[in-house]
Amino acid sequence: MKKQKASGRLHQMGEKINGMRMNICGCSEADIEGCVGIVEYGSECIKLNAGRYIVSFRGRSLRICCMNELSLMIRGHILSIEYIM
């Protein structure tokens, strides 16, 4: 898998990527709308299917604190966000 890192600021806070929208609050919370599914779930890594990309959240004490059919919220200490092609 080829990895692609976001350069500079994570685009704009709340940019729509491939139909998925992320709003990031500091390093402790991310609100995601429109992801296709959860690929991996653990306290140090959560990977979400965003269509053509996989979005990987890495950190400590990560958890999905609420989820419905349209959105989910990740909380914990987010250290990095990667887009994997």
DSSP 41-57: E-SSEEEEE-SS-EEEE
- Domain boundaries of the chain, sorted by first residue: 1-8+49-85
Please tell me the pTM assigned to this model.
Answer: 0.78
Instruction: Convert the pLDDT of each residue in 16-54 to its tens digit.
Output: 555 789 999 999 999 999 888 999 999 999 999 988 889
Give the integer Cα–Cα distance in Å for 43 and 3: 21
Question: Average pLDDT in the 53-72 region?
Answer: 94
